Structure 1
Amino acid sequence: MDMTTVSDSGLLDTLQHEVAVFARRAEQTRLGGVGQVRNSMDRAAYLLLNRLDKEGPMGVKALAASMGIDSSTVTRQVAPLVDTGLVKRTSHPEDGRAVVLQLSPRGLSRLEEVRSSRRQLMAELTQDWEPAERETFCALLTRFNSALSARMAVPPGTDTPPAS
């Protein structure tokens, strides 16, 4: 079903183009921040470390589910973080056979360094914005990302997300 009308197709063309440009530029710069920290942590590592910081230690399956990705992807992405000491593997407190991933003190320090650099970059990019414009942009970008997540949850061959 085509949800566009003649009046908004031009706006939607502009939107899809600007999203494509944003995605390319974000990947080129990795929105890595400023100074020596710039481009120093890839997107997957940042998102995994950030999730472990926000939600605490968890198993691979729980981490994958909370990020909306496959367990094998998490396992592959976590391996270098463990190798470099940013993430620790520990035994589950209730089931010693299960592995729990936990942000290490070094990982937290590194994450804070990258967050600070990225925060500085966001401040520079939006320095001439009013606070209300920043809030609106954040709210709309969050809403857009939520819609993308919901769309990705749609089973192939259907048009609508599953009922929640």
Structure 2
Amino acid sequence: MKSLHDMPERPGPARASLDRLFELTEVLGALMQRGMADRGLTLARAGVLWALFHDGPMTQRALAAARGVTPRNVTGLLDALQEEGLVAREAHPTDRRATLVSLTPKGREFTAGLRGGRDELAALLFADLPPERLDTFAATLVLAIERLKDVDPTAHA
């Protein structure tokens, strides 16, 4: 992995861009925290719902791997979401050792509402931007994300 300390000195615009990314992360993170809290969710529970919404039913083990958490952690998240009627667990149809997790109708409706809120925010932020400018912005973010995946987080702690 690359270290931030191993990278050559960057000119002012690169630093300013990174500063804006940090600011965006803080603002977006706070907005997400408030939005989830208003809906009675933690970010971890919302992540589980979002994974099931996008990828469909999956085993608890696959869900844990997709979220980057332990199976024990997923069990606790699913217990709470099942109690709220948002997810259902049932025996896997072909693997008797596995449990299949899916959204309930209430969970699908709830998650579709989250998606609607996300779409409204996207419209608020980007509706008046020309498509080519938005394409450039998205491509730059993709590049930044890919490069950040190669950075050693302990090198700049």
Q: Could you say which TM-score interval applies, normalised by the shorter chain?
A: 0.7 to 0.9
Give the aligned partner of residue 12 of structure 2. 10
Give the alignment's TM-score, normalised by structure 2. Answer: 0.75
Structure 1 residues 91-133: Cα deviation after superposition (integer angstroms, max 9, x where no partner)? 1112333211111111111111111121011101123311222
Q: Structure 1's 147 and 71: CA in aligned 2 closer, same or farther, altered over 3 A?
A: farther
The alignment covers a number of residue pairs equal to: 150
Matched to 1:115, the amino acid is R
Give the aligned partner of residue 30 of structure 1. 32
Q: Which stretches of structure 1, 4 residues or more, deviate above 6 A after TM superposition?
A: none
Which secondary structure does the structure 2 equivalent of 1:63 belong to? helix
Q: Cα offset for 1:31?
A: 7.7
Q: Percent same amino acid among aligned pairs?
A: 29
Structure 2 stretches lacking a partner, 5+ long: none
Is residue 97 of structure 2 the alignment partner of residue 93 of structure 1? no
- Higher relative contact order, chain-length normalized (CA < 8 Å, sep 6+): 2
Structure 1 stretches lacking a partner, 5+ long: 159-164
Matched to 1:133, the amino acid is R
Q: Structure 1's 39 and 21: CA in aligned 2 closer, same or farther, altered over 3 A?
A: farther
Structure 1 residues 10-45: Cα deviation after superposition (integer angstroms, max 9, x where no partner)? 334323322221121112211877xxx994354333
RMSD of aligned alpha carbons: 3.0
Matched to 2:116, the amino acid is S
Give the aligned partner of residue 75 of structure 1. 75
Give the alignment's TM-score, normalised by structure 1. Answer: 0.73
CA distance in 1, matches of 2:126, 2:33: 13
- Quick check: which one's helix share is greater? 2
Which secondary structure does the structure 2 equivalent of 1:30 belong to? helix
Give the aligned partner of residue 123 of structure 2. 123
